Each structure stands twice: as C-alpha cells, then as structure tokens.
Amino acid sequence: CARTTTYDENCPVCLEKFTNKKQLRCKHEFCEQCLEQSRKSLGPICPVCRHVFGMMEGDQPDGTMSWMPSPISLPGFSGCGSIHITYTIPGGIQTKKHPKPGQPYQGVHRHAYLPDNIKGQEVLKLLKKAFDQKLIFTIGTSRTTGFDNQVTWNDIHHKTSISGGPQSFGYPDPGYLSRVREELKAKGIA
C-alpha cells in the first residue's frame, strides 16, 4: 500500500519534504533555505506563529533618544511625576533599506510621555532597546499630513500628549502600558 506524506513531514513554507530541516524554539520546523528566505523578507519571525527567534533590526534612520524626569503627574498616575522622552531624527537620504533609496526624507522631532513609576521606567528601558534596534521609526507616508518620504512612527504607540485621553494620544489611558509592552514583545523586545 502506498504511504501518504503527512503535513508534519513537509515544510510549511514550500510544502515539500524537508531539506536540511531546522527547528525554531517555538518547535516549528522549516527547510534551511525556506527559513533563510523568510528571514530575509519578514525578519527573524516564525512564518507560522510569528514568534521572534532572533534580534530584529528595523530601518529607522540614525537619530537620538533622550529623556528626563518631570514633576508633572499624568492623568491616571497621580503622585509619581512623569518621564518626558525626546526623539530627534534629522532628515537625510534614504538608503537601500528604505522604500526609495537615494531620495531625501524629512526628519522629525517628537515628544512622548510615560508615568515615572516602576512600570513606566520598565517601558522606558524597552523603548530604548527598540530605539537602539531601529524599530521606533521608519520612512513612509505621514498619516497626519499625507506627505511621502517622512520619518513616521513604526507600530509602537506612544503617548505624545500629557492629557486628552486615547483619542488625543494622551492620558488617562489605563491599558496603555500593557498594550505598548505587547507591541514591543511582538517585535522581540521583552
């Protein structure tokens, strides 16, 4: 009787029998070449479960991130002060990692706020790690102005206003610190 090939004997990317099978920490298995191709297009993310298996590095242009404490408490976090973050990304010329290599891009100067408590300080450390891995910003079309070739946020939400609630990208927003930690975790920052 003929033997049927089960799904577990085939690579989930090419759907063929494994060639130089590689297993990730999440236990999903792939052909070595399929995994390398996936890594080139998606980064070090499992194509099946999206688990990060290496250090992700984004295409954020060079810039600086600084922060300082402030005595001003944020709505919803009374009595602990706040942390004022400043991001500065100067304009420049796009590299081969960007959407339009050789074309100029407009830089940005952005501010963000966190409560100056244990959870806020933990998120600050994670944001710094994400910034160092070039994951906070990217180059694209601005959602607010519609202009192309702009430095824009890259799917890690920030509170850019002290007040006004979520609709104004501000506080109070009781679930924000948990949500931003999840967004960072999805990019391998934990």
pTM: 0.76
Residues 84 and 97: their CA atoms lie apart, in Å, by: 30
Q: Which domains does the chain have, with CATH numbers?
A: 1-54 (3.30.40.10), 64-186 (3.30.390.130)
Mean pLDDT of 105-118: 97
Q: 10 Å Cβ neighbour count for 187? A: 21
Contact 83, 67 (CB under 8 A): yes
User: Measured between alpha carbons, how far is 23 from 93 in angstroms, rounded to an integer?
Assistant: 39
pLDDT computed for residue 25 by the predictor:
82
Which pLDDT band, with edges at 50, 70 and 90, does 70 fall under? very high
Task: For residue range 38-66, list pLDDT tens digits in order.
Answer: 888 777 788 888 777 777 788 999 999 99
